[in-house]
Structure 1
Amino acid sequence: MSSLLFYNVENSKNKEKPLNDQVTLMPEEAEDMWHTYNLLQIGDSLMASTIRKVQTESSTGSVGSSRVRTTLCVCVDTIDFDSQACQLRVKGTNIQENQYVKMGAYHTIELELNRKFTLAKKIWDSVVLERIEQACDPTQKADVAAVVMQEGLANLVLVTPAMTLLRAKVEVTIPRKRRGSCTQHEKALDRFYEAVMQGILRHINFDVVKCILVASPGFVKDQFMAYLFREAVRQDSKILLENRPKFMLVHSSSGHKYSLKGREHVLITHCNLFMLCLLCDSQAAGEVKALEDFYKMLQHEPDRAFYGLAHVEKASEALAIDILLISDKLFRHQDVTTRSRYVRLVDNVRDNGGTVRIFSSLHVSGERKFCSFHIQ
Structure 2
Amino acid sequence: MDLYNVITPGDYVTADTSRKIHREVGDTKTASRVKLSIHLKVTCRDFEKDSSTLRIHGRNLDPNGFVAVGSFHTLTLEHNKPFELRKKIWKEDAVEALHEGENNEACPDAELAVTLFQQDHAEIYLIGKGVTSMVSKIEASSMRNGGKKSSSSSANAKNVFFREVFTAFIKNVDLNKVKNAVIASEDSKKDEFRKFMISEAKRMKMRGVEENKGRIVVASSGCNGDLKELLGEGTVMNLMKDSKVGLQIRALKEVWDMVSSDSDRACYGPKSVENAKEMGAIETLLISDELYRSREVEIRKKYGCLVKAVRDSGGNALVYSSMHVMAEQLQQLTGIAAILRFPLPDLDDEN
Same fold per superposition (TM over 0.5):
yes
Name the structure 2 match of 1:213: 182
Give the whole-Å Cα distance in 1 for the aligned partners of 2:302 and 2:309: 11
- Check whether the contact 2:14–2:37 (CA below 8 A) recurs between aligned residues: no
Give the whole-Å Cα distance in 1 for the aligned partners of 2:157 and 2:227: 26
How far residue 311 of structure 1 moved from its aligned partner, in angstroms, is 1.3
Amino acid at match of 2:248: E
- Is 1:372 the equivalent of 2:337? yes
Listed one character per residue, the Cα deviations across residues 189-238 of structure 1 (whole Å, up to 9, x for unaligned) are: 22222222222222211210121101111322122223333434444443
Give the whole-Å Cα distance in 2 for the aligned partners of 1:150 and 1:107: 39
Give the whole-Å Cα distance in 2 for the aligned partners of 1:230 and 1:98: 57
Name the structure 2 match of 1:305: 266
- Is 1:134 the equivalent of 2:95? no
Name the structure 1 match of 2:170: 201
- Relative to structure 1, is the Cα distance of residues 352 and 115 closer, same or farther in structure 2, using a 3 angstrom cutoff? same
- Check whether the contact 1:268–1:285 (CA below 8 A) recurs between aligned residues: no
How many residues matched? Answer: 324
- Is 1:149 the equivalent of 2:117? yes
- Is 1:270 the equivalent of 2:234? yes
DSSP 3-state at the match of 2:9: coil
Give the whole-Å Cα distance in 2 for the aligned partners of 1:190 and 1:130: 47
How far residue 371 of structure 1 moved from its aligned partner, in angstroms, is 0.9
Structure 1 unaligned segments of length 5 or more: list them. 1-31, 57-64
DSSP 3-state at the match of 2:235: coil
- Relative to structure 1, is the Cα distance of residues 314 and 224 closer, same or farther in structure 2, using a 3 angstrom cutoff? same
How far residue 94 of structure 1 moved from its aligned partner, in angstroms, is 5.0
Give the whole-Å Cα distance in 1 for the aligned partners of 2:145 and 2:170: 26
- Check whether the contact 1:148–1:216 (CA below 8 A) recurs between aligned residues: yes
Give the whole-Å Cα distance in 1 for the aligned partners of 2:98 and 2:223: 37
Name the structure 2 match of 1:354: 315
DSSP 3-state at the match of 2:326: helix
- Is 1:317 the equivalent of 2:283? no
Name the structure 1 match of 2:139: 171
How far residue 119 of structure 1 moved from its aligned partner, in angstroms, is 1.6
Amino acid at match of 1:245: G
- Relative to structure 1, is the Cα distance of residues 151 and 110 closer, same or farther in structure 2, using a 3 angstrom cutoff? closer
How far residue 164 of structure 1 moved from its aligned partner, in angstroms, is 1.2
Name the structure 1 match of 2:255: 294
Residue among 45, 70, 89 paired with 2:55: 89
- Check whether the contact 1:149–1:255 (CA below 8 A) recurs between aligned residues: no
Give the whole-Å Cα distance in 1 for the aligned partners of 2:151 and 2:69: 71
DSSP 3-state at the match of 2:264: helix
Give the whole-Å Cα distance in 2 for the aligned partners of 1:201 and 1:49: 30
Give the whole-Å Cα distance in 2 for the aligned partners of 1:205 and 1:51: 30
- Check whether the contact 1:174–1:189 (CA below 8 A) recurs between aligned residues: no
Aligned-residue sequence identity (percent) comes to 29
- Is 1:37 the equivalent of 2:7? no
With normalisation by structure 1, the TM-score equals: 0.74
- Is 1:76 the equivalent of 2:76? no
Residue among 155, 160, 172 paired with 1:186: 155
Name the structure 2 match of 1:3: none
Structure 2 unaligned segments of length 5 or more: list them. 24-31, 342-351
- Check whether the contact 2:52–2:133 (CA below 8 A) recurs between aligned residues: no
How far residue 271 of structure 1 moved from its aligned partner, in angstroms, is 1.5
How far residue 251 of structure 1 moved from its aligned partner, in angstroms, is 0.8
Amino acid at match of 2:302: R
Name the structure 1 match of 2:84: 117
Listed one character per residue, the Cα deviations across residues 36-81 of structure 1 (whole Å, up to 9, x for unaligned) are: 221222223334455678999xxxxxxxx99563463x43223233
Name the structure 2 match of 1:8: none
- Check whether the contact 2:5–2:321 (CA below 8 A) recurs between aligned residues: no
Give the whole-Å Cα distance in 2 for the aligned partners of 1:52 and 1:214: 42
With normalisation by structure 2, the TM-score equals: 0.79
DSSP 3-state at the match of 2:176: coil
Give the whole-Å Cα distance in 1 for the aligned partners of 2:34 and 2:172: 35
DSSP 3-state at the match of 1:347: helix
- Is 1:337 the equivalent of 2:304? no
Listed one character per residue, the Cα deviations across residues 124-183 of structure 1 (whole Å, up to 9, x for unaligned) are: 33322211110111233213101111454211111122311111112213578969x523
